[in-house]
Chains A and B, each alone.
Chain A
Amino acid sequence: MASNEDELQQLMRAGLDGDAAAHRQLLERLSRHLRAFYGTRLSRIGRSASEAEDLVQEALMAIHTRRHTYDPAEPLTPWVYAIARYKLIDHLRRTRGSLADVPIEAAGEITAREDHADAESGIDLHRLLARLPAKMRNAIQCVKLDGLSVAEAATRCGMSESAIKVSVHRGLRALSAAMAREKAS
């Protein structure tokens, strides 16, 4: 458990410094923990596995777009758990579920178990992307989906490099918000 925290924290720090491999590994490991966490929480109140996967993806998106709020002097697990819990409460509120008891002190629960299934959520990324403003959509398409470098994306979209970076960042945040809103409708 302690080594789990240490390893995750190292991956997070490396990711914050721009290490893509470490960031991927962090997200993969966290996704397993999140899947186990949401799976148990939601099956207890009779919700489906695909709904749990929606939440896994929402939480991953929130973790990615809010990385700057992690204070490297603090342990990572409580930070992740706080986001996971916030998204769960938000989800239950939006889907009119009863507000389950999710105490803030139970941070250990988030890394207690793992679930390796590569499950599918009900979220349609391309449909959400299509609703973003063109600039954000194009920037995300180039940099995040086609894997172009920021410089290449800037040439293809006819935007400056800093505009590309800003558009990717804002676009991901908008996607993150759209994922949560989608369920309410």
Chain B
Amino acid sequence: MKTSELIDMLSVNVEVVDRGKVWRGMATAVGAGTVLAVGAVLLTLGGRADLKDAEAYFSLAIKLVFTLGVVILALIFLTRLARPGGERREPLGLVAMPFIGVAGLALLSLLSTPRAHWAVMIVGDQWLECLLSIPVIAIVPFALVVWAVRRAAPTHLARAGALAGLVAGSVSATAYALHCVDDSVPFVALWYGGTIALCTVAGAALGPRLLRW
């Protein structure tokens, strides 16, 4: 085929392009992923039963600020990075900010408590459930985000995959927070932060395979 023939074909009946497509696709994927993750947590694990006192609300709020902070930051970066050439200029270090923040708070909270309580604060009651639930719940949001990212034609697949994993992991952690009663900040920093990081690594590994276009 001659290139001029291809150009002829492509410039007949040129459609008007919807410019909000990338953003809308991403928002739809994350929105649907969040609804499904929250639904899965409430149906299988159940919401927190102790949401009567102010303290429980406060603990929940801290977790949500952390996880939603990660969701929003990661989503902003992902929307830019998902497009061709998006990897050129993104200062990705910024997405580590919420993790550094929560780690700092965890350290302060440990330093202000006697050493004898440290083990309980760090390990909590349900560390294993947390460790397993967040990655498992992240699978469906991850699939949805991957679908949206592919349509945006990323050109750095490992990085786009990592951010997709980060978004999915933090969406999942947000949903899991509605169930989890381990409220110490060191627990959140280690197990929430750790499992979200795990999802990010998994996303980076899967990206080159899943995101090719």
Flag whether A132 is at the interface (Cβ < 8 A): no
Residue of A nearest to B8 (CB): A24
Residues of B within 8 A of A56 (CB): 3
Q: Kindly state the separation between the CA atoms of A24 and B7 in the bound complex, as whole angstroms.
A: 7
Is the C-beta of B1 less than 8 angstroms from some C-beta in chain A?
Answer: yes
Stretch at the interface among B16-24, B93-101, B113-121, B128-136: B16-24
Do most interface residues of chain B lie in helix, strand or loop, or is the interface mixed? Answer: loop
Task: Tell whether, in the assembled complex, residue B84 and residue A53 are in contact, meaning their CB atoms are under 8 Å apart.
Answer: no
Contacts A16-B19, A118-B3, A121-B1 given; indicate if A27 touches B85 (C-beta within 8 A): no
- The interface size bin for chain B is 20 to 34
Asked if residues A123 and B11 are in contact (CB atoms below 8 Å), the reply is: no
| A31 contacts B7, C-beta separation under 8 Å | yes
- Mask, B20-35, CB within 8 Å of A = 1, is 0110000000000000
A66 B84 Cβ-Cβ under 8 A? yes
Alpha-carbon gap, A180 to B153, bound state (A): 15
User: Do A20 and B11 contact each other (CB < 8 Å), given the known contacts A66-B153, A78-B88?
Assistant: yes
Question: Contacting chain B: which of A1-9, A39-47, A139-147?
Answer: A139-147
Residues of chain B lying within 8 A (CB to CB) of residue A53: 3
- Enumerate chain A residues within 8 angstroms of B18, measured Cβ to Cβ: 68
Q: Cβ of A123: which chain B residues have Cβ within 8 Å of it? A: 1
Give the shortest distance, in Å, between B117 (CB) and chain A (any CB): 49
Give CA–CA (A66, B152) in the complex, Å: 7
Contacts of B156 in A (CB 8 A): 104
Chain B 81-95 near chain A by CB (<8 Å), digits 1 or 0: 011111110000000
Interface residues in B1-52 (C-beta closer than 8 Å to A): 1-7, 9-19, 21-22
Could you tell me the distance between the alpha carbons of A53 and B153 in the complex, rounded to whole angstroms? Answer: 22
Cα–Cα, bound, A122→B18 (Å): 33
Q: A60-B7, A119-B3 are in contact. Are A82 and B84 (CB under 8 A)?
A: yes
**Using Cβ atoms and an 8 Å threshold, which residues of chain A touch B12?**
20, 143-145, 147
With A and B bound together, what is the CA distance between A81 and B18 in angstroms?
A: 22
Q: Is the beta-carbon distance between B14 and A57 smaller than 8 angstroms? A: no
User: Contact: A27 with B88, CB < 8 Å?
Assistant: no
Report 30 cross-chain contacts, Cβ distance below 8 Å, ordered by A residue: A16-B17, A18-B16, A20-B11, A20-B13, A24-B10, A27-B7, A28-B7, A35-B3, A57-B3, A61-B6, A66-B213, A68-B21, A70-B83, A71-B83, A72-B19, A79-B85, A82-B87, A82-B155, A83-B155, A107-B85, A107-B88, A119-B2, A119-B3, A120-B3, A121-B2, A123-B1, A125-B9, A144-B13, A149-B13, A169-B15
Q: Which residues of B are in contact with A by a Cβ distance under 8 Å?
A: 1-7, 9-19, 21-22, 82-88, 152-153, 155-156, 212-213
